[in-house]
Structure 1
């Protein structure tokens, strides 16, 4: 079957929504949003309003304004998480540079003897090399000028400042279990040992990428399945989600909060998250996997 749908004007998009049963009280506002936010992007926010997923007929009392409220909530959630993830990324980078450079040397990330999967390491280093070559920061220009005869990467405290959270996550997860720093870093985050932290970092990296590309988080089925500690050393949640609930963002937020509590013990994540939910009362927390008593959990209280 060939795709034969034609592009539609904003007026035609609004007419189609009205025909299918959506309530639009403020047509000028709808036109404004659709001129800046594509129809297809907004579909993700009114998709649960469909009474029929084939014909795209809406349920009764489906309102355009409610979809826009979800869209705005999702934007603010991404901004909040981006701030939290930034702290986790900077902390992880710092710990990896410090512990591994002291255990081995400043070029540990180039030592294939320390890693499990060499092809994966080569790919990670290839991406890092591109970043080093592109970098125009003064610290990198001065290093290349001063040490032009040294064909190695700049030391880890310079090179790894240019890698992404995804690159850091891959380097950490690819370290051999015999590398002492792998357990030391996990222990400092309250993850006990290296068994659990890689899956946490993978989960956070996925969400970070959604945030960076302005993708929907609300009501999204997340692919990550982080491994959970049976007896965490720090405050955790008592009402654990079932396996099928791992696709919702709540458990991933719990992991972020757990890590953030070791990085910044007096953080305001709980207050900011609760305030966000209060500011958007039409948003159903269940669509995010939240439990009714989440604020009273030891982790969040």
Structure 2
């Protein structure tokens, strides 16, 4: 049986006093009050949590500025990850659309016969239809006013408005040769590609909600590719593994190298902070690994 929640709302000054009372050092009070006012105590608490002892007091030397620095690092990390996921997502949408459209027609996705026999097409398509009906896109409004059958729309329209999660499930349900055609440039087994898309869908949601990413234990762990250098030593439950996945998947992108350089810059910031490297699953020799050469 729980108990009633009785904690009152605190002013920004009271919030800061509470942190100081628990042992956190504050070097610049104006900076701290400003940060609490634009980010919120509760959101920032995820970044000073690593400095807390079991009794809720802070470790010796814990500072508000260090927690804020960690928050800003995580923010830049999320934006960098979202940048690569966008590239991967658009590529997959394009190739799924092309493969199904040319193989089975404009309405390929509406027919169970276009997919593997084990795919629960009716459940998946029911969810997609809701997404299409909810979407407020001019091209869908035009289609609905001009043609019969809405929300059954051509695959090249449906793929533009389906969520990444729906796209991931769709890819998993495709016939094996079609999956291979979609991901041929990735040079990974189709089972690995399925897993990676599932994980990226989850990570995208984390980033889109501005949630903590840097030290997160992944709820959906990606599969390690077999017989490929570098992967078997990595922790597939941490965000560094996701960075390595994205490096592989954007390798053929025109700015894939530029994206990798941004990641290298972020990771280099942690070279003198082994505790934070471990929290992200970053190996000590990360900068000599094949992913970043």
Tell me if TM exceeds 0.5. Answer: yes
RCO higher in structure (CA 8 A, sep ≥6): 1
- Structure 2 partner of 1:99: 99
TM, length-normalised to structure 1: 0.87
- Structure 1 partner of 2:206: 210
| Aligned residues of 1:69 and 1:280 also touching (Cα < 8 A) | no
Structure 1 spans left out of the alignment, 5+ residues? none
The DSSP-based 3-state class of the residue aligned with 1:299 is: helix
Matched, 1:33 2:29: no
| Aligned residues of 2:144 and 2:151 also touching (Cα < 8 A) | no
Greater CA deviation, 104-113 or 155-164?
104-113
- State the distance in 2 between where 1:199 and 1:49 align: 34
Change (3 A) 1:289 1:280: closer
- State the distance in 2 between where 1:227 and 1:135 align: 33
| Aligned residues of 1:100 and 1:108 also touching (Cα < 8 A) | yes
- Structure 2 partner of 1:111: 111
- State the distance in 1 between where 2:151 and 2:33 align: 55
Matched, 1:197 2:193: yes
TM, length-normalised to structure 2: 0.90
Q: How many residues align?
A: 287
| Aligned residues of 1:82 and 1:211 also touching (Cα < 8 A) | yes
Aligned CA-pair RMSD:
2.1
Matched, 1:274 2:257: no
Please, which of 44, 47, 62 is the counterpart of residue 46 of structure 2? 44
Equivalent residues in 2 for 1:19-98, closer than 5 Å: 19-50=21-52, 52-53=53-54, 55-98=55-98
- State the distance in 1 between where 2:266 and 2:169 align: 32
- State the distance in 2 between where 1:263 and 1:13 align: 46
Give the CA deviation at 1:172.
0.8
| Aligned residues of 1:73 and 1:280 also touching (Cα < 8 A) | no
Please give the per-residue CA displacement for 1:81-138, whole angstroms capped at 9, x wherever unaligned.
11110000000000100112222122121112324242xx444433432333334433
| Aligned residues of 2:165 and 2:201 also touching (Cα < 8 A) | yes
Give the CA deviation at 1:264.
4.0
The DSSP-based 3-state class of the residue aligned with 1:28 is: helix
Change (3 A) 1:209 1:96: same
